[in-house]
Structure formats: C-alpha cells, structure tokens
Structure 1
Amino acid sequence: MQKIRFLGAVALGACLTCASAATAFPEKQITLIVPTAAGGANDAMARVVGQAMSAILKQPVIVDNKAGANGAIASEYVMRAAPDGYTLMLGYIATHAMNPALQKLRYDPVKDFEPVGMLGSSATVMVVNPSVKAASAKELVAMLKAAPDKTSYASAGNGTAPHFAAEMFKLSTGTSMLHVPYKGSAPAITDTLAGQTQVMFPSLFTAVPYVKAGKLKALGVAGAKRSALMPDVPTLQEQGIADVDVSQWYGIFAPAKTPAPVIAQLNKVLNEVLADKSVIKRLEDHGAEVSTMTPEQMRAYVAQEQVKWKKVVQAARISAD
C-alpha cells in the first residue's frame, strides 16, 4: 500500500511539473523566423504581430530574417529547431503550399510543423508598365492574343506566387507571355518599372505605392473581391477572367512535437492580437485581410492548398528550374 501511495505521489508530482512548465511558458525570448528579406510584406507583418504578441507574453518576440531558396532555408531551420515554442516561423503560401507542389523538399509542410494559427491573406494584383496601352485586363488579353509571346512578365522566381498567378492567368485566358524569373520581388518590380518586362503579379503591399505614384497601372485584382487599398480596381473575375485567385496567406508555425499546451497558448495570444483594432489597421495598411484559424483548421487548410497548387503545376507544366 505504501508503495502504491509513493508511485501515486510521484505521478502526481510529474503531472504538476508538466502543468507548471506549460504555465510558465514563455520564460525567455521567442524568435520568429521570416523566410524572406527585410522590407517585404512578410517581414512587415511579422514585426507587427511579433511586437503585439510580445506585449501580451511579457517576453521579447524577435524577428530573424532567413531568406533564400523560396523559403526553404527558413523552413528547414525551423523544422530542426527545438520543439519548445521558442522558435516559430512566419510560413506562407510559398513555403507551405507552392514549394511542395513544385518540387521534392527536405521538409514536409504538414508533418514537420505544428500550426499555431492564421494571420490573414493578401490578394495579388496584375500590374503593367505604363507603356502598355491596355487599360483593362480584357484589353490586355486581346493584345496578347494578337501578338503571342511578344510580351514578358516578371516574377520573384520560379515557384513564387507572382509566377503561379501569371501562369493561372495564361491558362484561364489562353494567352502566351514570356516568363522572366528574378531572385526576389525587388529586382522583378524594378525591371517592370523600367519597362524591361511589361507585366507582373505582385502582392498588394508591393504594388500599391507604385500604382498610386502612377509608375505602374493596376489592371485587375487576382482575388475573390476588390481590395480596400485599391477599391477602383476590379477583380479579374469581374472582367470575365475566372479561376485566377491567388491570395497570399500567412500563418505562424512551430516545429513538430511542440507541446500542445504551448501551441494552444500561442494560438490564444495570436487570436487576441488579431482582434486588436490597431493591429488590424496596421496589417490592412500592408495589404492584408486578417483572418484566424485554430491549429487544426490551419493544418487542414495547408493540406488543401497543397492539392490545389499541385493541380496548377501539372496543368501549366510549371518547372522548378
């Protein structure tokens, strides 16, 4: 009987220790890995959310940019990190849906990560250099059909959202353009501004300043609805171009096997942050529409997105090379 009581006490003590550890989280700085360079939409959103989470958690949330390989470098880094909640990642459509649809990776976006939750999404917009005479997406389609392969489009690289959006546009409209891949959005937008390439599908965050300055023309939003940042720009669907919906979503992920209580706490804090009107406003200023998900919903959504983009890769015969 004494032995049973002793074992029971040990088990109870272990449970209390686990509960105490979960309750104590976080006890130190949290690092939020961003898979792109500083200055872009991903980086901006990570800093807004990280700062707000830090205020609630009472610990610093530091943003660390690890750009390269379309997000694969950052993904592998986080995958190998200790599963304790102190290393997180701002994953997005490229790292967790487009990359695995396009090529074999050294990480599995579903099995190697624990989803914390969704931040939101940002629509992609079709822009052209002002020298392009088309004033609408429909006019551009007519122009492209009249002169196939005489127009080039820029992307941030093979397998990126601008690349996929342009290929979806070509499939939907039966048009042909030459693809010019760059190493990132910055050089791609620079050459589009200069007229070296004529068309691009950047994120709203990237496009808005140039459109407002008259340096680029926005012909259509590649999303389900118009953007509040450019309310006068119709969607491609409104112009009769279906099946071109490229919403660049963003979420937070932790390494696989991160304890469920830690994930639950982080999800709660994230959702609290995303309910703050000041945070919502700052994210909207960066072209993002806030939305939230439970970890389970996020996992299902990522798996669904992989299937969607795999079909696009096959239909458009997109290559990683």
Structure 2
Amino acid sequence: MIKLIRSIAISCSALSACLGSFSPAHANTWPTKPIRLLVGFAPGGPTDVVARIIAEEMGKELKQPIIVENKAGAAGNIAAAMLKQAPADGYTLLYNTSSIVIAPWVYQQVGFDPLTDFTPIALTAAVPLVLAINPNVNAGSPQELINLLLATPDHYNYASSGTGAIEHLTAAHMLSAVNAKAVHVPYKGTAPAQVDLIAGATQFTTTTLNTAISPVKAGQLKALAVTSKERTPAMPDVPTLSESLIPGFESLAWQGIVAPLGTPTELVTILNNAINKALQTTQVQTKLAQQGTIVLGGSATEYKDYIASEYKRWGEVVEIADVALD
C-alpha cells in the first residue's frame, strides 16, 4: 500500500496535470469567507495537530482562514455525520482519518456511507503505527512478544484508543495472523491508553508513530516494530512487522479531506490545488516529518479510488480478525 500511496503523490507532482479545469469566475471570487474544517478528534491530539498544520498553509493559499472545529466522539463518526448534513458550498470540510472507512464495519449505525455521502478532495498524509510495549515486558522483538502471548493465552493486555479504532484493528489483525491471543482494553482516546501502558496497567499496544515518538525516546515505552512496509526515518533502527514477523503486513493511519456530496467540481479543484500546494511547502513537510508523518497529496479522483480500496481492505481485516461489532 505504501508504494501505491507514494505513486499517487508522485503522479501529482505537476499539479496542473491532476487538477481539472475550473471557472475563472469562481477562481476569482471563491472563497469569500472563512472555511470550517471539522476534526473528529480532541484538540491537541495527533490528528488535530496535523490538520492544523495543513489548514494554516491552505488558508494562505486561499486567502481566507481555515477554522478548525473539533467535534470529537465516536471515533470521528460525529464529525463525519455532521459533514453529511452541511451545505455543499465548499465552506464546510472534514479532515478525515482512515476511521471513515473502518467505522461502517465496526459500528451498527454510523450515520454516513463513506463511498456515497461525501466528495473526496485529497489524500493528505499517512502515519505508520508502532508495536510498543511497557519496558517491564520481557520481549526484545515482535517474535519474543508473540512467544509470551502463545505461552500464556489471554494473560497479557493490549491498549487502544477505542473499540474499532485503527490501533485496535491493527493489533487484532497481528494477533490473528500469528494465532495469538491477548485481552483488548479499549480507552476513550489515545492519551489515557498511553498513560496506563506506561504505568504498566497494560502490556502492549499498536499506536500511531507520532504518538509513540516521545515516550519511546524517553524510555517510557519500547518500540518493537513499525507497521509500514519500509522502516521509518523517525525510528530507523526499529524493524517493520513485515520483515520481523508477518511478511507483507502493513497498516497506516491515513488522513485526507472530504466535502459534502454535491460540492461543485470547480470548488473541488480549487480546494485540491490549495491542499497540494500546502503539502509541498517546506513548513508543512518539515513539521510533519518531525512526527514521522508521510506527506502525500494527489487528485480528487485518486482519493476517491483510494477510499474505495481501503473500505474493502478494512472490511476484510474486521472479518479475519473477528472483531466484535458494537
């Protein structure tokens, strides 16, 4: 998948080739007021931080401020459902995560369909996950951790930011692939999950790289593997799960921006242009690289196709990992 994502970014290096035509009148007059960017997670969290970095640069390009509004709850579902009801005038957008395609497989009712209720604008970034353990766990590699789990089924606990979150599904998928078992402990967010892991109330997790960097550097957690196909520059000495335990394994917490269904094509073009230009700035690339975030980009059509492929893939993961639906 990482090669697919990178090919999307490369294919749009010449923006004029991947941005459609647009009305000169709209280009000259829109936007005429601030744009709302809904974020379905709490202020200061990893998704919120990236959204604000990109929003600031987008605002410079559009010459209107992008106002981030946090509508946290239900793994981002509340914000997504709000966007579905918003006017399709380009003034309300959603900074979505991969949860937009996971939620329909995990929850009975989410209030939206990711394939039919939104207008994709652009893929923005992706974050690998890290298999991290409390330092008191006697494991120096993914295989050693799995050996412990196999020796004492259901004795060890793993934390996540909530049932059905990508952290939960990534860990569940890993365990299913090696026929190991552990007790899932869901929390209401990444922060409390990490606090208990550091304290030793749980033993391991798969959490986003930008969340794991600080506690790993501080020695509060130990990183055993990353879930990208290739090693990350942010943790060059940490192997991938693909090379160390499960060949071909990959899980990325990707992000993007969508608008309400029916948003005019010319507005999609303008917004896509602004996002891609923002992603190419030194400020954005430097800030995101510091968090281990992969900068992407691409056309609206490519993002639509990517959402569809990820929706199918995560549906298969939920089935294979036998994740209980809420």
Question: Would you call these one fold, judging by a TM-score over 0.5?
Answer: yes
Q: 2:90 aligns with which of 64, 79, 85?
A: 85
Change (3 A) 1:232 1:185: same
SS in 2 for 1:242: coil
Give the Cα separation in 1 of the matches to 2:141 and 2:180.
Answer: 15
Give the Cα separation in 1 of the matches to 2:316 and 2:131.
Answer: 22
2:81 match: 76
1:155 match: 160
1:3 match: none
Query: Shift in Å at residue 22 of structure 1?
Result: 5.1
Q: 2:173 aligns with which of 164, 168, 192?
A: 168
1:98 match: 102
Under a length normalisation based on structure 1, what TM-score does the superposition of the two structures give? 0.92
SS in 2 for 1:202: strand
Give the Cα separation in 2 of the matches to 1:242 and 1:174.
Answer: 15
Q: 1:204 aligns with which of 199, 202, 209?
A: 209
Query: Shift in Å at residue 60 of structure 1?
Result: 0.7
For structure 2, the 5+ residue unaligned runs are 1-22
Greater CA drift, 18-27 or 245-254? 18-27
**Given that residues 285 and 295 in structure 2 are in contact (C-alpha distance below 8 angstroms), is that contact kept between their aligned partners in structure 1?**
yes
Question: After TM superposition, which residue ranges in structure 1, 4 or more long, deviate above 4 angstroms?
Answer: none
For structure 1, the 5+ residue unaligned runs are 1-17
Task: Report matched runs for 1:103-118 at 5 Å.
Answer: 103=107, 104-118=109-123
Q: 2:309 aligns with which of 277, 288, 304?
A: 304
**Given that residues 172 and 243 in structure 1 are in contact (C-alpha distance below 8 angstroms), is that contact kept between their aligned partners in structure 2?**
no
Give the Cα separation in 1 of the matches to 2:244 and 2:46.
Answer: 27
> If you compute each CA radius of gyration, which structure gives the higher value, 1 or 2?
1
Give the Cα separation in 1 of the matches to 2:283 and 2:51.
Answer: 15
- What is the RMSD of the two structures over their aligned residues, measured on CA atoms? 1.2
Task: Report matched runs for 1:204-243 at 5 Å.
Answer: 204-243=209-248
Query: Shift in Å at residue 91 of structure 1?
Result: 0.7
1:26 match: 31
Query: Shift in Å at residue 302 of structure 1?
Result: 0.5
Greater CA drift, 189-198 or 268-277? 268-277
Query: Shift in Å at residue 291 of structure 1?
Result: 1.0
Q: 2:259 aligns with which of 242, 248, 254?
A: 254
SS in 1 for 2:37: strand
1:289 match: 294
SS in 1 for 2:115: coil
**Given that residues 50 and 61 in structure 1 are in contact (C-alpha distance below 8 angstroms), is that contact kept between their aligned partners in structure 2?**
yes
Give the Cα separation in 2 of the matches to 1:275 and 1:290.
Answer: 8
Deviations 1:130-165 (A, max 9, x none): 110101111111111111111000011111011001
Give the Cα separation in 2 of the matches to 1:24 and 1:148.
Answer: 62
Greater CA drift, 283-292 or 213-222? 283-292
Aligned pair count reads 303
Give the Cα separation in 2 of the matches to 1:184 and 1:307.
Answer: 25
Greater CA drift, 258-267 or 277-286? 277-286
SS in 2 for 1:201: strand
**Given that residues 168 and 244 in structure 1 are in contact (C-alpha distance below 8 angstroms), is that contact kept between their aligned partners in structure 2?**
no
Structure 1 residue identity aligned to 2:60? A
Q: Calculate percent identity across the aligned residue pairs.
A: 39
